[in-house]
Structure 1
Amino acid sequence: MADRLVVKVTCGTDDLERCNQAFTVAAAGVAAGVPVSLWLTGEAAWFAVPGRAEQVTLPHATPLADLLAILLEGGHVTVCTQCAVRREIAESDVLPGLRVAGAATFVEEVLADGTQALVY
């Protein structure tokens, strides 16, 4: 088993099933006791903003807001700097406990020994 799991989600409401799958896998990693880092990129960057995840429903899936809460409590959640800026999301706009970071930080995380990286 990997020592750490990094999940990058590149879609949001434009591909909700794939987006929810990324959140579900990341939350399952937290439940399994693996350190998890979830990266919100592209349209997923909107889920860094309070209230956005609560607006999403997908039949037969755990609510995105519940999965995000699990990840904020038991893992790390990061929104991509460029993705946030393109959407005019300021660091002061994001959920408490969520960080804004760029590509260098992502590369550092995924290249660390014992890391499994998944991109959705």
Structure 2
Amino acid sequence: MARTLVVKATAGADSPERCAQAFTVASTAAAAGVDVSLWLTCESTWFALPGRAETFELPHSAPLGELLHVVLTTGRVTACTQCAARRDIGPGDVIPGVRIAGAAVFVEEAMTEGAQALVY
């Protein structure tokens, strides 16, 4: 049975190391062929917008835009419905390939047989 990794990123520029860790783990798993679903919640929701990941800087960390691209290319990226709404982000605002979905979809993915969920 194939395993799925569901990564929930809750931090953005407010906690750069935690943010980078979530994106690094998700992209590393995706590059290794793991089925990955990256959830952008709380402050990381901003990275669903075009160009935002490219503005993120953390010394000795891979560029966030590149990490996000890996996951978008090989896995799924979702922005939290409530988090997006609180930031006035709608479906027409996000990077192509990013969906907006809520807790029911997160729970469904996390509870799928063979899934492993990590929250950063």
Task: Report the TM-score when normalising by structure 1.
Answer: 0.97
**Runs of 5+ unmatched residues, structure 2:** none
- Cα distance in 2 for partners of 1:95, 1:107 equals 23
CA shift for structure 1 position 79: 0.1
Which one has a larger percent helix, Structure 1 or Structure 2? 1
**Which digits, 9 at most, give the CA deviation of each residue in 1:20-73, with x for residues without a partner?**
000000001111111000000000000000010011111111000000010100
- Cα distance in 1 for partners of 2:105, 2:57 equals 31
Aligned to 2:99: 99
CA shift for structure 1 position 2: 6.6
Q: Give the alignment of 1:51-66 within 5 angstroms.
A: 51-66=51-66
Aligned to 1:83: 83
- Cα distance in 1 for partners of 2:110, 2:56 equals 28
Q: Give the alignment of 1:1-120 within 5 angstroms.
A: 3-120=3-120
Task: Report the TM-score when normalising by structure 2.
Answer: 0.97
